Amino acid sequence: MPPVKICGITRAEDALLAAQLGAAWVGFVFWPHSARWVEPAEAASILAAMPPHVAGVGVFVDQAIEDVDAIAAEVGLGAVQLHGDESAAVCAASRRRVIKAVRLSTGSTAEAVDTVWSGATLLLDAFDPEQRGGTGRQVDWTLASRIARRRRTILSGGLRADNVGEAIRRVAPYGLDVSSGVESRPGIKDAGRMRAFFAAVEAAAGATGVPTRAATTVGAAD
């Protein structure tokens, strides 16, 4: 089963269920303009209750890399997800492992990722002029598949229990990232939707022979 990140965590009970269901990562949004924003101290408390196999990932948008690293240290994050227009130099300057989001629009091509720092794991998400993630919009899976063949890629954007199986078959991503697809409202996860999502991932991975991949390559704490 490809590793799964449940992103936009704001409650301990949601993180604990994600861990029980097999999540490799829990994601916390530290961009103040997000409906899923969480205080670093609260995120640290939630992460401290996670079993060893679950790593924390922090989502940031065009924030000073010094602030990003400071929050990462405070919370105990294994990786930082830079979801803005951060340059390769900014990505390389982080003290944590980096997941770099690339927002794909209608006119995007596979070359859209060529300027992303080579040391980063890619996360593909759908473009939105205002929101940074959690939009529920689906990316172009044909394009995502081409990118995933070139670089290690986490697929995001509009994933739900009813489409994640097809996404795995068509894109064959390294990992999966879901937020709005398992929510009752922004920041509040729905237990039934989470269970259905993991069941669909496991079923699709078994049908396609996708091997389980270790999440520690992008998410383990230093």
Positions marked catalytic: 7, 125
Residues 12/40, Cβ–Cβ less than 8 Å = no
Sign of the dihedral defined by the CA atoms of residues 90, 62, 68, 66, in that order: positive
Q: Distance between terminal CA atoms of the chain?
A: 24
What is the spatial distance between Cα 135 and Cα 172, in angstroms, rounded to a whole number? 22
Cross-strand bridge partners of residue 27: 57
Residues 156/177, Cβ–Cβ less than 8 Å = yes
**How do 183-185 and 188-189 pair as beta strands?**
antiparallel
Name residues whose C-beta falls within 8 Å of residue 117's C-beta, 6 or more positions apart in sequence: 88, 89, 91, 92, 98, 100
Residues 182/189, Cβ–Cβ less than 8 Å = yes
What is the spatial distance between Cα 20 and Cα 114, in angstroms, rounded to a whole number? 37
C-alpha count within 13 angstroms, C-beta hemisphere, residue 7 = 36
